[in-house]
Structure formats: C-alpha cells, structure tokens
Amino acid sequence: MLTERVQLSTSIDLDHRGRDWYTDKAVTFLVFVGGISAIVLIIGIFVFITKEGLGFIAGSLDVREFFGSLAWRPTSPTKPT
C-alpha cells in the first residue's frame, strides 16, 4: 500500500506541465522559426546579388579602367574616359 502511494505521488509530480511550460515551448519554437527564416532570407539575398553581379563582372567590366580611371560619371551615357 505504501509503495502504491509513492508510485502515484511520483507520477503526479513528474507531470507538471503548466501554462509556463507551454509558453516557453511556444516562444522557443517562434525564435527557432525566426532564426531559420533569417538565414534563408540572407542566403536568398546573397544568391540574388551574386546572380545579378556575375553578368556585369563576366561581361563588361574592365578592371584596369574601373580602378585606374580618374573620371567618375555614373550618369554618363557613354563610357568614361
């Protein structure tokens, strides 16, 4: 009889999931989802910028002119001299 009471009281004590436990799990899940979505968005931005920049770098970029030219005309319709 005593062992039955001990087993019953320990099984009741182990199940102490109250509102705080569920709130903690919900907040943990939301922080995890927020972190994963931030990582995915940063990777997406990196892929987009790389995809758009590779065409310029591989095609029309003259490194010597880019770094060696004294004229900087970002609105010029022709190439700067």
**Structural domain boundaries enclosing 58:** 20-81
pTM: 0.55
End-to-end CA distance of the chain: 99
* 14 within some domain: no
Task: Identify the pLDDT of residue 55.
Answer: 80
The answer to whether residue 10 sits within a structural domain is: no
- Give 28-41 pLDDT, tens digit per residue: 999 999 999 999 99
Number of domains present in the structure of the chain: 1
Q: Cβ contacts of residue 80 below 8 Å, gap of 6+?
A: 65, 69, 71, 72, 73
Instruction: Flag whether 11 is in a domain.
Output: no
Is 2 part of any domain? no
Q: What is the DSSP string of 35-71?
A: HHHHHHHHHHHHHHHHHHHHHHHHTT--HHHHHH-S-
| Residue 6 is assigned to a structural domain of this protein | no
- pLDDT (tens digit per residue) in 44-60: 999 999 998 888 778 77
The pLDDT tens digits for 2-23 are: 555 555 555 555 567 888 999 9
Question: Is residue 30 one of the residues assigned to a domain?
Answer: yes
Indicate whether 4 belongs to any domain.
no
